[in-house]
Each structure stands twice: as structure tokens, then as C-alpha cells.
Amino acid sequence: MNNQRKYLLNSILIMIFYLLINIIYEVSTHKFMNNFIYNIVITILSIISILFITYLIKRENISLKKYKYILIPISIFYFYCNIISGIYMFLVIKSFSKRTKRELPTLEIKKYHNIFIYILLFITTNIIFLLKSIDTLPEIIISYGVITIFTVIVFYKEYIDDFKVFKEYFYEYNSVILKTFISMLIVIGIINLSIRLSTGVTTSTNQENINEMFLKSPIILSLMSIFYAPIVEESLYRGVLKKLISNKYLFIIISGLLFGLVHVIDDYKSIGDFMYILTYASLGMFLAYTYDKTKNIWCNIYLHFLQNFISIILLILTIFIKK
């Protein structure tokens, strides 16, 4: 079995696992009938697509490329359902246009300013992050706008230098980023499922706040999620911290823990809610690993953008479908 069919097999196995877990959860929480039509449609489409992909896997003499335009909508559907299956499907589609891959360029972490400037930026921005007095939309826009401006000023030269390399080696970087993304989603999925089953808390307060803000100001929230967060958070929690911590493992652990802490410390409501620090810390560690491996801040911005962009799309689809 070639890699393409292995990816397809992984995709449908994860999809089957997702369907079973989802049905068990919906039935056990008595929510299945509340979303009856939605659950039935998802289940029927899943079964049809799984049978079709199983047929393609077994018929090894068939060229998968011929079915590219059938696999694309299936990939989008899978992506909506559980992301990981969708990514495996997209990897199959991506493999239809193979290129020779080069080694990643060797880069160094540079300090463009005095180290105290980076420390000052990190401390002041985190203080602003945690200020509870900033809660209205105008205050959020102004304060986050100021943070973005100062972050861009400090990192401007690094953005320019790293982007030149990122653009030239995008294909090679993209391969690393997608593999990290898949691993990240699997780990985060397991952590979230464990927290939900052990505590009964289905989502973090931070995510609830995001959902609530999205309903009130979808454009502002979307822009903050896909532009502000990737640029500012990666510059601070990866760009600054790597300049302060040279040891690989120490950097990954501290970067992840601080990233997780800042996402839950100011609004958690219970111990179960606080447990979601594990989710955000894991995300932070994967991002820190990516920065340590590539030494290019744009790889992190791209990976963080990808994560948040997909989250926004899924949030929109969920709201639209359930309405």
C-alpha cells in the first residue's frame, strides 16, 4: 500500500472513531434528538464517503488523481467533522503535484536590539493581556492595537529577514508545518477529550468568551484571531523567549506553560476549567518546537494563523448549520 492509500486509510479510521465517540457522547448526554437532523445528515454523509474511500483503497490499480475532484469536497467535509481526517485527505490531494524537497535552511536566532527591550515588551504586553479593566470592545481594540504596533516596531527587521527565507523555502517549511499541525491536533484532541470525560467541562471559559465575542462582533474577532494573535503571540512567546532561553527543551516547556497560563489564568471558573491549561500549553509547546526547528518566526505565524483560521471557519459553519 502506497503513502496515498495509507493517508486515506488513516483518514477513514479516524473518521469512524470520531463518529462512534460523537454518537456515544450525544446519546449519553441526551443531546442526540435535539440535533437529530444534523446528526443523521453527518452520519449518512460519513458512511457514504467511508465506503467510497474504502473502495479506492482496495482498488490499487486505480489512479487516485482521477478522483481528485471527488476527494476535494470529501476533504472539506472531513475537515469540518474532525480536522485530522481532513488533513490526511488534503495530504493525498497535495501529493498529486510532487516537488523535490530541499533541506531546511540553517538559521540563527538573532537579537536585533538590546535584550532588555525584548524583556520590557514581553512584560508590558502580558500585563495588558491580564488587565481585567479592559473589557469593552473599544478598549480591547485600542489596547491590542498599541501592543501590535510596538511588537511590529521591535520585530520589524526580523520579520523582513525571516520572510525572505520563508518565501524561498515555503514548500519545505510547509511540509514541516503540516506534520506538526497534524500531531498537534491529535494530542490536543486527546487532552480535550480526557478533560471533558474526567471533569464534565466541555469547553474552556476562554473559548466561551471567544464564542460570545464572535456573536457580537464577528469581523473584529476574526481579524484579531487570524492576524493579531499569530503575529503578536508568536513574537512574544516564541520570538522573545527563544532569545532569553537557549536550551531547546527548557524553551519548549517554559514557552508552552506561559502560553497556556495566559489563556486561562484570568477567567477560569473551576478546577475543571483550569485543566484546559493543558490544551493551551500543548499548543504552545508545539509552536515552540516549530520555532526551535525552523528558527523562522514566519513558520510560527503561519502555523498559528492556520490553527486560528480553521477554528473561525468551523465556528462559522457550526453556527450556520445548527441554525
Residue 103 belongs to some domain of the structure: no
Question: How many domains is the chain built from?
Answer: 2
Residue 110 belongs to some domain of the structure: no
| 89 and 141 belong to one structural domain | no
Residue 104 belongs to some domain of the structure: no
| 23 and 141 belong to one structural domain | no
pLDDT of residue 212: 84
| 129 and 83 belong to one structural domain | no
181: closest CA among 74, 283, 256? 283
Domain end call among 59, 94, 129: 94
Residue 79 belongs to some domain of the structure: yes
| 149 and 197 belong to one structural domain | yes
What's the domain range around 36? 3-94
| 242 and 153 belong to one structural domain | yes
pLDDT of residue 287: 97
| 154 and 288 belong to one structural domain | yes
| 75 and 175 belong to one structural domain | no
Residue 299 belongs to some domain of the structure: yes
Q: What is the mean pLDDT of each run of 10 residues along the chain (323 residues)?
A: 88 91 80 76 90 92 88 86 86 79 88 94 87 71 90 96 94 88 88 88 84 84 90 96 95 96 85 91 96 96 92 78 58
| 262 and 153 belong to one structural domain | yes
pTM of the shown model:
0.78
Torsion of CA 34, 40, 43, 47, to 10 degrees: 170
pLDDT of residue 215: 83
| 167 and 86 belong to one structural domain | no
| 150 and 203 belong to one structural domain | yes
pLDDT of residue 294: 95
| 266 and 129 belong to one structural domain | yes
